[in-house]
Amino acid sequence: MSDIPTDLNYASSHEWVSVEGDTAIIGISDHAQEELTELVFIELPEIGRELTAGDPCAVVESVKTASDIYAPVSGQVIETNDALDTEPGTVNEDPYGDGWFFKVRLTDSSELDDLLSPEDYAEQVNT
């Protein structure tokens, strides 16, 4: 069973979102890191880039494949987790903590209502 913290919201494409004021912190779920297997390279969006919800905005690479990560909400990228540059495996070890991807300043906070609750995401993952 993968871990699904109850204080976060989720996109059906397996990203999580944590909101602090007008800033959203974004990462990928425990289920996603398990499916992707051990990550060897992560490409994050550039700071300043304007993301629209649903945009492919990052790439994660396991030994075997490259996979896109999608922006769960719209906003401008204001910070990225540069530690992933040298330690991509942090995402596998701590997907909800040190393995966060980037922060955006939210363009439209009403988009948060479109995200899945932990219960709904758990249902998606387990069916």
Partner 1 sequence: MENAPLKRTPLFDTHTALGARIVEFGGWEMPVFYSGIAQEHQASREAAGLFDISHMGEFLFDGPDAFEFLNRMLTNDLAKLEPDQGQYSLLCQDNGGVIDDLYAYRLGQDRYLLIVNASRLEVDWMWLKAQRNTRHKSLQLEMIDRSHELSAMALQGPKAVGIIAGVFPAAVELRKNQIAELDFDSAATWVSRTGYTGEDGFELVVPNEHATALWDKLMSLGQALGLLPAGLGSRDTLRIEAGYSLYGHELTPETTPIEAALGWAVALDKPNFVGNKMLAAQKQDGVSRRCIAFKMTGKSAPPREHYKIFSTDDTSREIGEVTSGTQSPSLGCGIGLGYVESAYAKASTDIEIEIRNRRFPAEVVKRPIYRKPS
Applying CB under 8 A, the span of 19-27, 64-72, 96-104, 105-113 interacting with partner 1 comes to 64-72
Q: Which of 3, 22, 38, 120 contacts partner 1 by CB under 8 A?
A: 38
The Cα-based distances of 7 to 2, 67, 113, 119 in angstroms read: 15, 26, 14, 11
DSSP readout, 74-115? -EEEEEE-GGGGT-TTHHHH-TTTTT--EEEEES-GGGGGGS
Q: Which of 22, 54, 66, 114 contacts partner 1 by CB under 8 A?
A: 66
Q: Does 47 bind partner 1 (CB under 8 A)?
A: no
Minimum Å gap between C-beta 36 and partner 1 is: 11
Applying CB under 8 A, the span of 8-16, 19-27, 55-63, 98-106 interacting with partner 1 comes to 55-63
How far apart CA 108 and CA 127 sit, in angstroms, is 31
Q: Does 64 bind partner 1 (CB under 8 A)?
A: yes
How far apart CA 94 and CA 87 sit, in angstroms, is 11
Applying CB under 8 A, the span of 11-19, 22-30, 45-53, 56-64 interacting with partner 1 comes to 56-64
